[in-house]
Chain A
Amino acid sequence: MKIFRHLTVALVSYGGIVGASVFLAVLAVEFGISLFGDVVFSGWMLVTVQIARWFVLWVGVYTIHNVLPIAIAHGRTRREFLGAATGFTVVFALAMTLLAWLGFLVEDGLYSLMDWRSTPHGSPLAYFLMFLVWCAVGMLVTAAFDRWGYGGVFTLPVGLALAVVPGITMPGTGDTPFVRNMPHLLGDGWHAVSLGAWVVAMAVTWAIARDLPVRLRTS
């Protein structure tokens, strides 16, 4: 519980600060564009799908690469940490979704006020699942690199395949499915596939990290 609380408090508040500042920057850019021409797309949509998920992935990387060794050095087991980290991906993805959604609320209001043209964006559930999977994929790949060094490169295709899953039905990601018609055939059932991707990513992370040695940090 201590690890979970620490991860959540530290990283959710950090994500909140980063998100809020980026949002303000996006608004500033949108106003800037409106001075010279028409605003024809949602800046926040672009940021949330293209930048935010990388931030979430990086948080997954940070969690395993930086925080896990600290936990072990302070007498916690990998199992305890991974349990906390699994719960953390859910809470962190929720928090980031909430942040994205608040941004859309404000942006939508502003756009109708200014009579700007927006673009469609994904549902909160879609955002949640995307962040969830990307956070887990960050953990998976990092666990592999930290355990096997450059050998971790072999998990990159797996990580990439899992990361693509939730983005396929999300507007603005540019992610394309391996089997083109699949997501359309499944409709909202595709979300179950995304959830499955998170389960797989966490399970593989768990399997790799259970034997993770704490390597000497290079100074």
Chain B
Amino acid sequence: MRVDVQGLTVRYGDVTAIDDMSFSLSGNKIYGLLGRNGSGKTSLMSVLAGYRRAIGSVQLDGEPVFENAAAMRKVCLVRHPADAADKSDKVSHVLEYGAAWRDTWDNAYALELSELFKIGLKSKVGELSLGQRSAVGAVIGLASRSPLTMLDESHLGMDTPTRYAFYDALLNDFMAHPRTIIVSTHLIEELSSLLEEVVIIDSGRLVLQEEADVLRSRGTEVVGNAADVDEFTEGLTVLSEKSLGRTKSAMVFGQLDDSGLVRARQLGLELGPIALQDLFVHLTEPVGGKR
């Protein structure tokens, strides 16, 4: 499913959560929505799912989503805790809602996933542990088989084996039933190999949208003699610098051309790749201050 966002603004009273944001997702990919706490990820996804009215336009396959039955049928957002899992309901009850109200719901798959995550169908949602409630959310999201499925922090509280089982389920189900999946996460390193495209937002604004593999190749760590590093990075976008004695390391953002590579070799500089997670950290606002 294609997603088009144009001039989107979300305000809560005086607080602007999303600030005039525009982007498009061509669809049928796994997208990573990355941003720090309070960057507007949940607000953005809530608007995409028709959870709230907003200023600007949000279109799914060319149709506005808010209060549009045809578009709403194709969307599933799972936040934490899942909105479709009322605390007072039993898990079996939660799945019955999905089966009754969603045309695309695969109940056999929902039961299979519940077993995989070892969720007791007879327990009440409110009595489950944090990780198990997250797992219920993952079941709702995956079993909905919605053309646009959004999973907001669905890994919260899951232990490592459960998270990997979740990633495997996500990937395998995506391959069996290609659709647009947006996942938001703070565990970038764990999830990044699953992502085809990355959308980074900060303070309610779009920072960048890029193919994950292209983004990985856009950051370079330059290490060497401090003076040489400074000479080399002049005029380049430097995300961060660190010094140790006479050695200096700088994170450079942007593809280096061949002449750059030659010059680096002449200066005796070491060039290395930067992890997606580090790029993310330096592309968003640093802790304790404005960029």
Residues from chain A with Cβ under 8 Å of B87 in the complex: 217, 219
A210, B67: Cβ atoms closer than 8 Å: yes
Q: Max chain B CB contacts within 10 Å: which of A5, A73, A79, A219? A: A73
Residues from chain A with Cβ under 8 Å of B73 in the complex: 75
CB distance from B20 to the nearest CB of A (A): 20
The answer to whether A66 and B86 touch (CB under 8 A), given A2-B100, A74-B101, A219-B133, is yes
Chain B, 27-65, CB within 8 A of any chain A CB? 42, 46, 49-53
Residues from chain B with Cβ under 8 Å of A74 in the complex: 76, 84, 97-98, 101-102, 144
B101, A214: Cβ atoms closer than 8 Å: no
Query: B74 contacts the other chain (Cβ, under 8 Å)?
Result: yes
Residues from chain A with Cβ under 8 Å of B42 in the complex: 216
Per-residue 0/1 for A1-30: is the Cβ within 8 Å of any B Cβ (1 yes, 0 no)?
011011000000000000000000000000
Describe B's contact surface by its main secondary structure.
Answer: loop
Describe A's contact surface by its main secondary structure.
Answer: helix
* Residues of A that sit less than 8 Å from B by CB: 2-3, 5-6, 66, 69-80, 210-211, 213-214, 216-217, 219
Nearest chain-A residue to B126 (Cβ)?
A: A219
CA distance A70 to B87 in the complex (A): 11
The answer to whether A3 and B67 touch (CB under 8 A), given A70-B83, A214-B51, A219-B133, is no
A3, B101: Cβ atoms closer than 8 Å: yes
The answer to whether A6 and B72 touch (CB under 8 A), given A72-B50, A73-B84, A217-B81, is no
A75, B88: Cβ atoms closer than 8 Å: no
CA distance A80 to B50 in the complex (A): 14
A77, B50: Cβ atoms closer than 8 Å: yes
B68, A73: Cβ atoms closer than 8 Å: no
Query: B175 contacts the other chain (Cβ, under 8 Å)?
Result: no
Chain B residues touching A, range? 35 or more
CA distance A80 to B69 in the complex (A): 8
CB distance from A211 to the nearest CB of B (A): 6
The answer to whether A70 and B52 touch (CB under 8 A), given A2-B101, A6-B101, A216-B42, is no
Nearest chain-B residue to A10 (Cβ)?
A: B93
CB distance from B125 to the nearest CB of A (A): 10
A78, B67: Cβ atoms closer than 8 Å: yes
Nearest chain-A residue to B10 (Cβ)?
A: A213
CB distance from B203 to the nearest CB of A (A): 20
A217, B83: Cβ atoms closer than 8 Å: yes
The answer to whether A75 and B52 touch (CB under 8 A), given A2-B101, A66-B86, A66-B88, is no
Residues from chain B with Cβ under 8 Å of A66 in the complex: 86, 88
- State which of B46, B69, B76, B98 has its C-beta within 8 Å of the C-beta of A214: B46
A216, B79: Cβ atoms closer than 8 Å: yes
CA distance A66 to B51 in the complex (A): 15
Known: A5-B100, A73-B77, A216-B83. 14 other contacts (CB 8 A): A2-B101, A3-B101, A6-B101, A73-B84, A74-B144, A75-B102, A77-B67, A77-B69, A79-B69, A80-B69, A211-B53, A213-B46, A214-B51, A217-B86
CB distance from B67 to the nearest CB of A (A): 5
B51, A72: Cβ atoms closer than 8 Å: yes
Query: B200 contacts the other chain (Cβ, under 8 Å)?
Result: no
B74, A75: Cβ atoms closer than 8 Å: yes
A70, B84: Cβ atoms closer than 8 Å: yes
CA distance A3 to B51 in the complex (A): 18
B146, A69: Cβ atoms closer than 8 Å: no
Residues from chain A with Cβ under 8 Å of B140 in the complex: 73
